[in-house]
Amino acid sequence: MSEEPRRISVVLFDGFELLDVFGPVELFSLVGDRMAVEFIGPEPGPVVSSQGVQVVATDSYEVATAPDILLVPGGQGTRRLVSDQAFLSWLRAWAEPASLVTSVCTGSAVLAAAGLLDGYRATSNKAAFDWVRRRNDKVEWVAHARWVQDRDRWTSSGIAAGMDMAAALLTHLFGSAVTHEVTTRAEVEIHEDPAWDPFAEIHGLA
């Protein structure tokens, strides 16, 4: 009997960053029936990205099944979400049973604002890093990191860094051979060192 697929629940919101979502989702989709991806939005139906592309959410926040692995992307919409107390309360409660809580880019600001990174190490987009770390001083913000794994929390730097984190997550879940097969099929060169981060220097953070 085959194992149940690991379920990735992606939280969509108006103004999410497209590559934050579909960089990781592309890699997740290449492991076949080992993973299942679902998109959760304010309501079922189209959700507009920062780039204007609409992505269809299959379930609303209100009725979404408790997540196995959740992913919160970044994007301009996070500037609003960090002050949306109703959303943050929902996210905090909904995320509680998750086995893994992940974010890409400024999605970590949303996790932090919801209290989901209290006592954890985390990183974020380096161009927005000062703004992100002001969301919560209970987080140990790591400026120089491509991504950070701290127990059941995974956070990545900006945008394309989400693919590196996703590859590391696949290795964590299924082993390096699976990740190698996936990245070869995608013809993508992954940074495997979480400390590789030239953008921290570029933005004067290290």
* DSSP structure string for the chain: -PPPPEEEEEE--TTB-HHHHHHHHHHHHTTGGGEEEEEEESSSEEEEBTTS-EEEESEEGGGPPPPSEEEE--STTHHHHTT-HHHHHHHHHHHTT-SEEEE-TTHHHHHHHTTTTTT-EE---STTHHHHHTT-TTSEE-SS-SEEEETTEEEESSTTHHHHHHHHHHHHHH-HHHHHHHHHHHT------TT--HHHHHTT--
Residues paired with residue 59 on neighbouring β-strands, in sequence order: 40
For this structure, is 48 an active site residue?
Answer: no
Q: Considering 55, 69, 81, 105, which one is annotated as catalytic?
A: 105
Q: Supply the residues annotated as catalytic.
A: 105
